[in-house]
A and B are shown apart, each in its own frame.
Chain A
Amino acid sequence: MGKLDKDKMLNMYSRMLLIRSFEYEIKKLLEQARIKGTAHLYTGQEAVAVGACSALRENDYITSTHRGHGHCIAKGASVDRMMAELFGKTTGYCHGKGGSMHIADIDTYNLGANGIVGGSIPIATGAGLTIKMKESSQVVVCFFGDASTNQGSFHESVNLASVWDLPVIYICENNFYGISCHIKDALKVENVADRMAAYGMIAKTVDGNDAIAVYDAVSLAAEHCRSGKGPYFIECVTYRWEGHSRSDPCVYRSSEEKNEWVKKDPIKKMEEQLINEGLKDKKLAEVRESVKNEIESAVVFAESQPDPTIDDLYKDLYYKDMI
């Protein structure tokens, strides 16, 4: 595993910033009722998605969750088409039929976000089975939260992946809460990673606010998977800055707790790491400006796109035509 070069780090910084700006924009658009429904924002967890996806090859798969915008952007999706999807437009990734919780971008090997907690874990496992059966050198990164590790689907998945040596990297984003339920009220063990001994799976716990630490851990895991040694589990300890979804007033946690985590801002950390590498403030300011423009133009793009019509309603209910 080579050391990250400055360009790659800058690119990671840019992606993290793009995720955060996207989420701030979505929050604003929801408050202004310019977009409908709800959204589960990824703010504060950017280092996990970007650190992990930066360690992957283009044709490695990911699966995502209801809090999926970050994974989608990190894997290389266009914010224009994501924004169009959140506006429910026909040129959105799902032609306006998925929305925030269901963006999939097969072209970037993103098998989709999922509205069911734990729902994508078996799917990632199945993608790992394809890779194994086709003897390809890809891997799958399966993102999920700490709360989903209490679903049966999680346990059935990691058990099967272990028994069958499937090339899946299970990345648990431990942000301490399943909506309001604190992890202490949901797990008896100290770390989520402690559970994995029961499945004979290698498990590491890393600082999920440090993109480079995540990158390093996932690089190692990918090497392990590609060499046919089976699955790998990484717990990334992090924090979601916003509520679970737009309607969550966060009565279950203190502002002191949140502020402590805001001090550990993963984007600030990346900035410091870049400055340590000798990057100038001016360069970072350029990235910030470019990200700001990208988000602004995504909104302009999305709002200008056509709405679906009644003719679109039954389209894609079945794949092309049935035989």
Chain B
Amino acid sequence: MREITYRDALNEAIAEEMERDNDVYLMGEDVGVFGGTFGVSRGLIEQFGPKRIRTTPVSEAIIAGAAVGSAITGMRPIAEIMFIDFATIASDQIINQAAKICYMFGGKTAVPVVFRTQGGGGRSWAAQHSQSLEAWYTHIPGLIVIMPSTPYDAKGLLKTAIRDNNPVMFIEHKQLYNTKGQVPEEEYTVPIGKAKIVREGKDITLIATSFMVIKCMEAAEELKNSDIDVEIVDPRTLVPLDREIIKTSVKKTGSALVVQEACRRMGFGSEIVRALIEDCFDYLDSPPQVLGAEEVPIPFSHILENFTLPQTEDIIKKVKEIL
């Protein structure tokens, strides 16, 4: 099978869905001739024109809000928020409007909008361009939250997100855009709400999303040398969460470590631990644990940033502690 980058996989998803459905369009800062700050929309303006690939002023609140307004009147917008850190400015429209409209108005209208954004650190971009804020959105009833880790999932899940009738926070990772993976030429989609076992093993289950899946894979390879056989589960969709696969895996291995790039406390990892305690308490040989970032704003110094974010060695060390 051919290999393409995460960036190109996303680009293909947008192009295919725009070809399939005239109501789909992309809007955001620099998405036009510039091709998007991370290059995801490169070439799309040539293919679809400026009417459907709309470069906006630097105005996150109206990017999100115009997307919501056009979604409830018949369009299927993809609104790009350049950094998840900037989604704070669009919060009213995402949290108070998009997430609430269907329920609050008694199910009268769908809100088929995808907020595409990216998070994570590792680039020395400091405190306002490196955050992992997914837990905020998972906390809001009415939103769907997706964090793909591979080109295959990125394409398949973005296509599904665009077709879904509900607001989706689609969170990419700045360190993943150049990663390559197998993506079939032919049409496919990936369902929302289905986790994936990305590596089978028998000794411990690592649960991770997005860039942390890559780190966990590296750790698993290293741990082979110590005769530790690691299983890795990628939920892919945080809301709705596929608790079944996680449960099945942990029942098999008896141990669990959640690895998240976000700050350790009050995060998505804690939620997974709650699920583990509720779903497979009797099968756990040790307390499930969370490895996350240190509880500081992401520092600029790459030395300090490396201390802050979970590294492959940290995962290895933690797994050995648990087993």
Q: List chain A positions with a Cβ less than 8 A from chain B.
A: 61, 63, 92-98, 102, 104, 106, 111-112, 114-116, 119, 121-131, 133-134, 152-153, 156-157, 159-160, 163, 315-320, 322-323
Contact = CB atoms under 8 A, between A and B. Distances in A.
Given A119-B92, A129-B69, A323-B192, 8 more contacts: A93-B106, A97-B104, A126-B77, A127-B72, A130-B75, A160-B59, A160-B66, A318-B165
A157 B62 CA distance: 6
Given A97-B103, A112-B105, A125 B62 contact: yes
A126 B65 contact: yes
A115 B96 CA distance: 9
Interface stretch (B5-13, B107-115, B179-187, B273-281): B107-115
Contacts of B96: 115-116, 119
B62 A316 contact: no
Contacts of A133: 25, 51-52, 70, 75
Contacts of B62: 122, 125, 153, 156-157, 159-160
Nearest to B67: A126
18 contacts: A92-B106, A95-B106, A98-B104, A102-B104, A102-B105, A111-B72, A111-B73, A121-B65, A127-B73, A129-B66, A153-B65, A159-B57, A317-B142, A319-B109, A319-B165, A322-B144, A323-B160, A323-B191
Contacts of A319: 102, 107, 109-112, 165-166
A122 B89 CA distance: 13
Contacts of A130: 69-70, 73-75
Contact of B75 (A129, A322, A323): A129
Contact of B102 (A124, A129, A153, A317): A317
A123 B104 contact: no
B144 to A, nearest CB: 7
Nearest to B51: A133
B306 interface: no
B68 interface: yes
Contacts of B163: 323
Interface string B48-68: 000110001101011011111
Interface size class of B (residues with CB under 8 A): 35 or more
A286 B95 CA distance: 47
B192 A111 contact: no
B97 interface: yes
Contacts of B111: 319
A106 B111 CA distance: 13
Contacts of A111: 69, 72-73
A317 B67 CA distance: 19
Nearest to B99: A317
Interface string B185-200: 0000001110000000
B132 interface: no
Central interface residue in A102, A106, A160, by most chain B CB within 10 Å? A160
Given A320-B165, A323-B192, A122 B102 contact: no
Contacts of A93: 105-106, 108
Looking at B67, B97, B103, B193, the one whose CB has the most chain A CB atoms below 10 A away is: B103
A13 to B, nearest CB: 30
Interface in B167-211: 191-193
Contacts of A124: 69
